């Protein structure tokens, strides 16, 4: 496909979502501002008596509440069986209680998610990315169909956050995101250190290559060590504890003004998270009174803040996909070039996992995101003038918060960064004409050349890793293809493979793919190669033994194959048959766009 045609096809424009009848802004009733702008369609007069009868049955206490009280949807991405999401129903109940105490009607509902940690490396991971669209569809559907006046959404795992913000942009009614919060670090007695979910995958690589050892007891077998890690990595509720995708998205969204101060770094099980639920109920009233709607907050300036925060904290490559999709949904022009521009000028400061030592719970202990933003606003890296859900500017929100302690080592000084520029590099070249996303922290170097070793699916690479077939010594660039949005289908994360390489200490290996990575992935990795193999991108015709060069200085990714030879190979290439032809993944594969534009499904 011609990249120019792709660009034209995906060019953002003013969103055209269905706009429901509602009372004009500033409508007064009995001397008070009418906050039931949308629900009044159903509750005023007697035009919808059936609707009012159903609402009385659902819990509206009296006629006065029916006619005047605003109706707020409380949308939690709750389900049991995943620590990221299992506590969100309780947070929603706390929010509902406070909404009712403030004279509002609150309707709690939930949407679905997929546990990336549980599905990682298996076929279930193909269902993960498309849940972002399901979440957005669900919240848009309930908000609009039920004529809710406002929405408070409670996400946990990483597709949850962009999903709820995309829904906000669609229905454009006063909305606040309350992040479910991150998990506390676990602790391994056999390794004598804090651990988290990423430790499990890296330990698996060491297990396979027989390098998994215990400093505490040399007599322990590798099975006993891995048992200890599995049993202690996740001590309770909350999203993965490092600067992985969930925390990358929550911190970026807070920097955009769509959540309350410190929402993104308040741990899931802390009393402060429950206090935030009470504050959210009060804040949503402010949003309704001042008509603070999502598309007033989703601006180019707020997205710029999100990009700055992502670079400063060493965030996940998945944020590129998600921020592009959020911007596209809101009609904000954001491109891969914006990520590179911001990465070129913003330092990488945070010593956070997966590349660093600390966890988000540790960041909360030294002041949290509000204190980090205070530093960045003072340094003119973050725009403090943007409006937020509190009715105040970002700078006003954080003014009363303390500065970062002088003796802390988690956030490096601006004049002594981990890396002078950001860790996200947008690469192009004859392997990725439409772009690719690399995560280069500097520890791995900035340039890698090696011999291609090609796998047509992640499962084939996993089998080779499990058999110990990836050689040490010479430089190798592992190529995993047919794992893009359409080809996967579902663009699965490849943490199992990337973590196994790290755990096995295969520093002679780089990994590139048209799929994507978990936020816990690190090493010399490149993902989102576009066009993807299933769409006839050049990655489809890479052969074992081709020399591949990844250069994060010149922002290139190339195979040492002539343009004529690439063309000849593509002419003889045959598209593979779709692996699924029915069900949600087939529908997703048919609708989804390319990774360089956020893998969206509503731009057709």
Q: Among all residues, which ones are annotated catalytic?
A: 518
Instruction: Respond yes or no on whether the N-terminal peptide bond of residue 6 is cis (omega within 30° of 0).
Output: no
Strand 476-480 to strand 424-429: parallel, antiparallel, or no bridges (unpaired)? unpaired
Strand residue runs (E) in 378-442: 424-429, 432-439
CB-count exposure of residue 238 (10 Å: 0-12, 13-18, 19+)? buried
Ranges of H-type helices in 256-367: 271-289, 294-297, 300-313, 318-330, 336-345, 360-365
341 token code pair: 């521009």
141 token code pair: 């559907």
Short-list 309, 552, 329, 602, CA closest to 436: 552
Compute the chain's Rg from CA coordinates: 24
CA distance linking residue 246 with residue 240, whole number of Å: 7
Q: Are 247 and 185 in contact (CB under 8 A)?
A: no
Q: Which residues contact 249 (CB under 8 A, 6 or more apart)?
A: 158, 161, 162, 316, 318, 319, 322
Beta bridge partners of 454: 479
Q: Are 453 and 478 in contact (CB under 8 A)?
A: yes
Residue 579: HSE in the Cβ half-sphere, 13 Å Cα cutoff = 16
Residue 432: HSE in the Cβ half-sphere, 13 Å Cα cutoff = 32
With both helix axes pointing from N to C terminus, report the angle between 160-171 and 130-145 in degrees, rounded to the nearest 10. Answer: 40
């Amino acid at each position: 496909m011609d990249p120019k045609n792709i660009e034209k096809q995906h060019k953002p424009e003013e969103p055209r979502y269905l706009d429901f009848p509602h009372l004009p802004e500033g409508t007064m009733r009995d001397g008070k501002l009418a906050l039931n702008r949308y629900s009044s369609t159903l509750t005023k007069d007697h035009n919808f008596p059936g609707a009012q009868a159903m609402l009385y049955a659902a819990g509206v206490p009296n006629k006065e509440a029916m006619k005047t009280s605003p109706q707020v949807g409380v949308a939690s991405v709750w389900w049991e069986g995943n620590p990221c999401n299992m506590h969100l129903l309780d947070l929603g109940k706390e929010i509902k209680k406070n909404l009712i105490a403030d004279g509002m009607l609150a309707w709690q509902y939930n949407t679905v998610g997929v546990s990336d940690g549980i599905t990682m490396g298996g076929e279930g991971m193909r269902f993960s990315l498309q849940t972002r669209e399901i979440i957005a569809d669900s919240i848009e559907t309930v908000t609009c169909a039920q004529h809710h006046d406002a929405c408070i959404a409670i996400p946990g795992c990483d597709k949850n956050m962009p999903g709820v913000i995309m829904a906000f942009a669609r229905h454009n009614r006063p909305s606040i995101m309350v992040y479910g919060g991150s998990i506390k670090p676990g602790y391994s007695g056999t390794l004598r250190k804090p651990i988290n979910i990423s430790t499990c995958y890296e330990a698996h690589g060491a297990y396979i290559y027989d390098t998994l050892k215990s400093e505490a007891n040399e007599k322990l077998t590798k099975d006993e060590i891995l048992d200890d890690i599995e049993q202690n990595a996740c001590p309770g509720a909350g999203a993965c504890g490092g600067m992985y995708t969930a925390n990358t998205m929550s911190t970026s969204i807070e920097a955009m003004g769509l959540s309350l101060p410190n929402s993104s770094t308040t741990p899931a099980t802390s009393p402060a998270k429950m206090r935030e639920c009470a504050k959210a109920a009060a804040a949503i009233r402010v949003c309704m009174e001042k008509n603070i709607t999502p598309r007033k907050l989703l601006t180019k300036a707020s997205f710029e803040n999100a990009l700055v925060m992502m670079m400063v904290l060493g965030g996940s490559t998945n944020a590129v996909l998600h921020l592009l999709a959020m911007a596209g949904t809101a009609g904000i022009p954001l491109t891969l070039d914006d990520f590179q521009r911001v990465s070129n000028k913003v330092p990488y400061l945070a010593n956070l996992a997966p590349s660093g030592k600390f966890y988000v719970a540790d960041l909360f202990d030294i002041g949290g995101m509000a204190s980090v933003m205070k530093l960045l606003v003072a340094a003119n890296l973050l725009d403090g003038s943007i409006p937020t859900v509190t009715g105040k500017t970002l700078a006003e929100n954080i003014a009363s918060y303390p500065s970062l302690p002088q003796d802390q080592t988690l956030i490096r000084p601006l004049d002594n960064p981990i890396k002078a520029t950001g860790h996200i590099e947008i690469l192009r070249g004859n392997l990725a004409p439409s772009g690719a996303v690399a995560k280069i922290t500097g520890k791995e170097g900035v340039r890698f050349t090696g011999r291609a070793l090609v796998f047509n699916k992640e499962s084939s690479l996993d089998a080779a890793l499990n058999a110990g077939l990836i050689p040490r010594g010479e430089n190798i660039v592992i190529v995993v293809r047919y794992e893009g949005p359409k080809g996967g289908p579902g663009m699965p994360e490849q943490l199992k493979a990337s973590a196994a390489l790290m755990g096995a200490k295969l520093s002679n290996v780089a990994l590139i793919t048209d799929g994507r990575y978990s936020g816990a992935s690190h090493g010399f990795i490149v993902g989102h190669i576009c066009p993807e193999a299933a769409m006839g991108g050049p990655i489809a015709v890479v052969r074992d033994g081709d020399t591949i060069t990844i250069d994060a200085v010149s922002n290139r990714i190339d195979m040492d194959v002539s343009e004529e030879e690439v063309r000849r190979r593509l002419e003889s290439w045959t598209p593979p048959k779709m692996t699924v032809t029915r069900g949600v993944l087939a529908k997703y594969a048919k609708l989804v766009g390319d990774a360089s534009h956020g893998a969206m499904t509503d731009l057709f």
